[in-house]
Chain A
């Protein structure tokens, strides 16, 4: 009789666990403020959870670096990032599931339209804002351009890209290294006119990646849900709503992607003159 009760309790405990599995931690690289990031991603993750049946929970670090640190510390299961293509992190084994369905991102050095700075050389010795020392288009690509042009500037890390743009607008810095898409959206939202001093080659935007401990099945379900959003009216509505939350000019969907789509990242990171912060 005693064994029967123990068996029943274990069965019930199992059943309960199966009914509400622990969600996967989905980390998002800090491109915007915490509030904007959460406002943008929570609806999307809710949709993907519903469609895929794989529960996802948004996890954000205070900064992009902290978010990346959580990835490297194994605290996250999924990530939307482009910080994992450095040689050292590439070895963590994360795999690409999908990417933002955009033309790609470029790293730019921009000044205000009213600024007298007309060239990269004019920035020599001046403070230039960047998102953080780990950002690809927000630091590595524009700083690489400056280094390759032989211009030494005083880097100022604002925390995220929009903060760097805010310092540019307030006049604290002479220029800012930015993701061209984020900059365009910011300028549109604030009616800002700016001038591009340096523009890089295009790179695919951040990738939805899964850690090696995520099963292939769950990974595929998540990929399918992300990719299928643009085909699903509900998914489109979610994307548009998320875009409105952050003032994005377009509701970008997701496209299927694999490791090859990010080889140019790996190549740049191997050859860049900027010291990598891994």
Chain B
């Protein structure tokens, strides 16, 4: 900043100003004093003159009084004349009835100037008095004094006062000038030091020479401190400047070498900087781009519509916020070629928030978009079979439903589920299963190559086939042919030959359908029923079909269960497992899930669990039970019992189940030994690999497993060997009537013996009579559970 800016130069030096001010002040004081004293002295002189005249009159009267009484008039004349000669008396007059005498003397020649007398205007006072003695008036005496001596006295006083002031003023000026001169020397030193610093000599300091006043000395000290501070600041600034240069160079190199294109503009959107990558993408050189509007160098258009797109940097500058470019934007280069880009624009703000400019970072995403398109295509394909996947089918079904509702088109959808596919997987492994699927789908695809068919793999061994503009009979004819072809199909693997079947559920789309879920549900329901009929069956969905109705009812439970979850109407019950074996001190319970109906009635799991398991809600139940039981144990430390929880088949196959359980365990810091899980034999076998992994994972943390309903399913000793469960829960069907049914007794005995031989403990469930209990005790079963011993009770969470 210009050092002279804002400073109005004065014509006179500080000394001249101070001397002038003091001179003016003293002069003013002199005049004020002169005027003030002048008035006062004039008044006093006037009074004194009047008093003197009165005194003189009194003296005259005293002098002549005896002569008046004696009526000695010559003597009176002599006395008056004599006194008048010796005093400054202008007039002395005595007048009596028979005598009158008056003596006058001229006024003294004044030594004061005439203007002073005129200005003073001191009148000659006249004093008069009657000469009375004893009431008789002897005459009247008059005296007038000459004011000239008083005027001269005042003039003399004025002259002396003026000389005094002049001498005082001169002495003050000289003294002040001397003092200022002494202090100026200090100021000159300050000025020289300041100029030295100004020219770059940051080591310049003011000498603290003797003779300076304390103020100047303090100023010098302050200046030196300031100079020290400035020197330090300059050093720091130079250091920071060097750092900044390095940083700037590093930034320049970085920006020029990064893969992203960078454009920097001023606050009006005119380009100030463009890096090499931006030059490459825009086709503008830095010199050509600089100063141009960013929208000119980077013209943006919508990739699909070709409509111009507002440059995001302009939006960012206007809105003072970060703006990302809308997707599907491309730039048109000067050559006419388009380039897909993605960018982000942000305003550059000062510390006060003022927009100083903007920066636009963008990069070429042409390749990425191509990849995305490819991925999008792949996303709708099944990688194993090359068929459309479930998402593609759902999209197609949505379009079909729209066509039905809006154009009256006809669509048939069928749900295809392979029978006995699991057997191939389990016996020959997944590679065999995959190969089977590939060959079978190739067969199906050949039949569905026309545009009237849309075939997709919905998951595992499930497929969907959509018929376009086809009547139901035509579709059924096609489906039957397809089923027959699959029936004829043979799959060979490792010298094994497998024969497959297929269950197909069919439904026709109609305008009353609300969404694709309903289409899938109807076809699935029909397929489920077809499968339940023994396989290789085709079932067309009919709303009034009893079997389908039942399945549909299960579906109703889905929404009911969802609502119950939201309303927190699920509750936990527990039923004790009484230990018969010695040495088991802690009570053991099985946690049971109950649903409280909207009317408050407790609903047993047999009502809702099948639907929940079928429609994938069971894992949610399992997690809910785990979370709530663990929370209960955490808040009820007095309860030291051991608890067993049921896990559904879906949870077994869910790879996240183990992590969830362990996280919850860690969260509540519970003893894992107190927790065990019960999985049904069927569910375990259906998810054998997953179940084995889960058991092993949780067992490594001390959590035990029980195989529930053992003996009910197709028990295989091989499964029993693979699954490292600690308990076997003997199915209630075998326990009931144990005391009088020899077959059941034999089976239970065999299972118990087997379990013990494998190192597992046994639990007999549904014990309802003393006879059954007695037998179980005799057999040495470890735990018994049933209404005889303990009816399920509500677990008090609060």
A residues neighboring B (CB under 8 Å) = 34-35, 37-43, 45-46, 58-62, 242, 245
Contact = CB atoms under 8 A, between A and B. Distances in A.
14 contacts: A34-B66, A34-B70, A35-B133, A38-B69, A38-B133, A38-B136, A39-B134, A45-B136, A46-B135, A46-B136, A58-B69, A60-B69, A62-B66, A242-B134
Given A41-B134, A42-B134, A59-B71, 7 more contacts: A34-B66, A35-B66, A35-B133, A38-B134, A46-B136, A58-B136, A60-B69
A44 B66 CA distance: 19
A35 B65 contact: yes
A60 B70 contact: yes
B702 to A, nearest CB: 141
Question: Which of B66, B69, B71 counts the most A-chain CB atoms under 10 A from its CB?
Answer: B69
B69 A40 contact: no
A37 B70 CA distance: 11
Nearest to B137: A42
Which A-B residue pairs are the 7 nearest by beta carbons?
A42-B134, A42-B136, A38-B133, A39-B134, A34-B69, A38-B69, A43-B135
Interface in B55-81: 65-66, 69-71
Question: Which of B65, B70, B133 counts the most A-chain CB atoms under 10 A from its CB?
Answer: B133
B193 to A, nearest CB: 92
A99 to B, nearest CB: 21
B406 to A, nearest CB: 150
B64 to A, nearest CB: 12
Contacts of A242: 134
Contacts of B70: 34, 60-62
Interface of A is mostly: helix
Interface in B523-569: none
Nearest to A38: B133
B78 to A, nearest CB: 15
Contacts of A35: 65-66, 69, 133
Contacts of A43: 134-135
B322 to A, nearest CB: 121
B47 to A, nearest CB: 30
Interface string B32-71: 0000000000000000000000000000000001100111
A40 B66 CA distance: 15
Contacts of A59: 71
A39 B133 CA distance: 5
Contact of A40 (B65, B71, B134): B134
Contacts of B136: 38, 42, 45-46, 58
Interface residues of B, number: 9
A41 to B, nearest CB: 7
A211 B66 CA distance: 25
A42 B71 contact: no
A37 B133 CA distance: 9
Contacts of B134: 38-43, 46, 242, 245
B97 to A, nearest CB: 10
Contacts of B71: 59
B477 to A, nearest CB: 174
Nearest to A25: B71
Interface string B130-158: 00011110000000000000000000000
Nearest to A58: B136
Interface string B496-537: 000000000000000000000000000000000000000000
A245 B133 CA distance: 11
Question: Which of B70, B133, B134, B136 counts the most A-chain CB atoms under 10 A from its CB?
Answer: B134
A71 B66 CA distance: 19
B526 to A, nearest CB: 162
A45 B133 CA distance: 12
A62 B71 CA distance: 11
Contacts of B65: 34-35
A162 B631 CA distance: 141
A41 B136 CA distance: 10
Nearest to B134: A42
Nearest to B71: A59
A127 B70 CA distance: 30
A62 B70 CA distance: 7
Question: Which of A38, A61, A242 counts the most B-chain CB atoms under 10 A from its CB?
Answer: A38
Nearest to B132: A42
Contacts of A41: 134
Contact of B135 (A34, A42, A62): A42
Contacts of B133: 35, 38-39, 42
Contacts of B135: 42-43, 46
Contacts of A42: 133-136
Interface string B98-135: 00000000000000000000000000000000000111
A199 B71 CA distance: 37
Nearest to A67: B70
Nearest to A62: B70
A79 to B, nearest CB: 16
A121 B135 CA distance: 47
Contacts of B66: 34-35, 62
Interface in B599-613: none
A35 B71 CA distance: 13
A35 B136 CA distance: 12
A62 B135 CA distance: 21
Nearest to B66: A34
Contacts of A40: 134
A160 B133 CA distance: 19
A275 to B, nearest CB: 28
A231 to B, nearest CB: 22
A28 to B, nearest CB: 11
A48 B134 CA distance: 14
A119 to B, nearest CB: 39
A41 B133 CA distance: 9
Contacts of A62: 66, 70
A39 B132 CA distance: 9
Contacts of A45: 136
B348 to A, nearest CB: 117
Contacts of A37: 69
A45 B69 CA distance: 14
Nearest to A47: B135
A43 B65 CA distance: 17
A92 to B, nearest CB: 22
B65 to A, nearest CB: 7
A46 B136 CA distance: 8
Contacts of B69: 34-35, 37-38, 58, 60
B75 to A, nearest CB: 10
Nearest to A246: B134
A30 to B, nearest CB: 11
Contacts of A61: 70
A273 to B, nearest CB: 34
A40 B135 CA distance: 10
B518 to A, nearest CB: 150
A245 B132 CA distance: 14
A58 B68 CA distance: 11
Nearest to A245: B134
Nearest to A45: B136
Contacts of A39: 133-134
A38 B135 CA distance: 9
A42 B133 CA distance: 7
A245 B69 CA distance: 16
B553 to A, nearest CB: 153
A251 to B, nearest CB: 14
A266 B135 CA distance: 36
Contacts of A58: 69, 136
